[in-house]
A and B are shown apart, each in its own frame.
Chain A
């Protein structure tokens, strides 16, 4: 069942001025619970604006958003509750840190929820552990941490609220390859452990190919598609027209398929490609051996 639903969601920036711009155009979506979803689209495609509607930071110009069947704008006094249920982590979230200690900063959101100290402590410690923030860092100033640790502290602050939906806008921007990989694994583990829905906004097709089950593709303020990751990557030509590409390995495999090689569809990670090519090579080697054996028996 859908946990979050939008109905003809439309948002117009600076409506009624010469700078008027439709950022989200009649988007209809149904997002299920317990999923890892990738959000892709060109800069300016409206994906960030759409995400800011999910937790009520922006109010739609027209259309509706339902969180668990409840219109989030029906009762404005409950909007803050919506923000606890739909967590939003912005790009470069480390720039929002402000508390004296890492612990206090992670606790900020949870404290705003009105939990008691024991619960706060539990949440903070558990989340810190999930993101690999060591215990002795918790009493340090967040400003004294390394870039990667700052980023984790900021993400932990939102994760600790245990939102039903967590939106992360480019959580790996600026990290090095190893840092990216660890971060994405931690996010996936968080998703598995909490059974929540995670929306991962990313420019890296390789990352979404490896870490997501479904893809939400935005283009020119409209929803281009929302379906299984592998189905999206089948549309390589259409994606190219949107200024998007598919993972390097997927495009190599598709080229080979086009050239008549008997490879299965939907190969978009190196591991999948390796297995498929090895299988093909093993078969042809067996064929050769069989043929040679056939020849010798004659």
Chain B
């Protein structure tokens, strides 16, 4: 069945990419230079997709395509039906698909929280009264409204990252791409950010694309895409992806501990599904077994 075009947030079609300098340095454009190889992917509006892959697998490069920071060498990428190749779409694409990066310190522009959240709407030429409303709404959505007059240096990592998310929400995007937003945070900060992301996805229907190294975070998504060596090699529900324990470990990835235990027991010949993601699921399954 062909998906309705209006329900597709992001569509990659046979996307190939390599950094131009690579071909210059090595002089020969061998197959090894490709950072992304023949990626075809459709992401539904309102969905929550996690992208996994080890460092250097190409997942961040893919994310940068979704925001038109990078343009494919071959193939195309469409954001809400707009081709990222077309210069005139640039700002509409960036407004529709906002991006949050790993280091919160290096994406906060202003020295006051609310000023920073206002940065994107200011760039878009939104009238001041409307900016004020959007800034307040965005800060409330990430629960940082009380900190609106603070300096970024007074905030914790998790709080800074929430401000960065608010800065994107203020553009009123349909989609947010987060490139390892929790990598530099402590467990509490990670939890704050994950709660915020889930809330935006559920309550405001914002499409979420989360690039992460943390398996527990990917387990919260509806869909997990695994990228290795520039190729998309797994694309399924978290339970189906993580239950392929051996494959995941071979890819340099991990699975939640409970999944690993269930997988081990399953392999030892016991009646337990390896498609287990959470503690309660694991406890229930083990109780049934014992």
Touch test A–B (CB under 8 Å): yes
A206-B257, A248-B258, A281-B270 as given contacts; A176 in contact with B283, CB under 8 Å: no
A-B contact count (CB 8 A): 86
- Does the CB pair B260–A179 fall under 8 Å? no
- Does the CB pair B186–A252 fall under 8 Å? no
Binding site for A on B (CB under 8 A): 54-56, 102, 156-157, 180, 183-184, 186-189, 213, 215, 252-254, 256-258, 260-261, 264-265, 268, 270, 279, 282-283, 286-287, 289-290
Question: Nearest-CB distance from B236 to chain A (Å)?
Answer: 19
- Does the CB pair B257–A43 fall under 8 Å? no
In the bound complex, what is the Cα–Cα distance between A42 and B256 (angstroms)? 22
- Does the CB pair A261–B290 fall under 8 Å? yes
Question: Cβ of A175 < 8 Å from any Cβ of B?
Answer: yes
Question: Cβ of A177 < 8 Å from any Cβ of B?
Answer: yes
In the bound complex, what is the Cα–Cα distance between A212 and B251 (angstroms)? 26
Question: Cβ of A78 < 8 Å from any Cβ of B?
Answer: no
Interface string of A227-252 (1 = CB under 8 A from B): 00000000000000001010111011
> From residue 171 to 209 of chain A, which have CB atoms closer than 8 A to chain B?
173-179, 203, 206
In the bound complex, what is the Cα–Cα distance between A248 and B290 (angstroms)? 19
**21 chain-A/chain-B pairs, Cβ below 8 angstroms:** A43-B188, A175-B55, A177-B215, A177-B253, A178-B253, A179-B252, A206-B257, A245-B187, A248-B257, A249-B258, A252-B279, A252-B282, A256-B283, A256-B286, A256-B287, A259-B283, A270-B261, A277-B261, A281-B270, A281-B289, A281-B290
Residues of B within 8 A of A281 (CB): 265, 270, 289-290
**Interface residues of chain A: helix, strand, loop or mixed (majority):** helix
Question: Cβ of A278 < 8 Å from any Cβ of B?
Answer: yes
Q: Which residue of B lies closest to A273 (CB)?
A: B261
Question: Cβ of A280 < 8 Å from any Cβ of B?
Answer: yes
Binding site for B on A (CB under 8 A): 42-43, 146-148, 173-179, 203, 206, 243, 245, 247-249, 251-252, 255-256, 259, 261, 270, 273-274, 277-278, 280-281, 284
The 5 closest A-B CB pairs, nearest first, are A178-B252, A177-B254, A176-B54, A249-B257, A43-B186
Residues of B within 8 A of A249 (CB): 257-258, 261
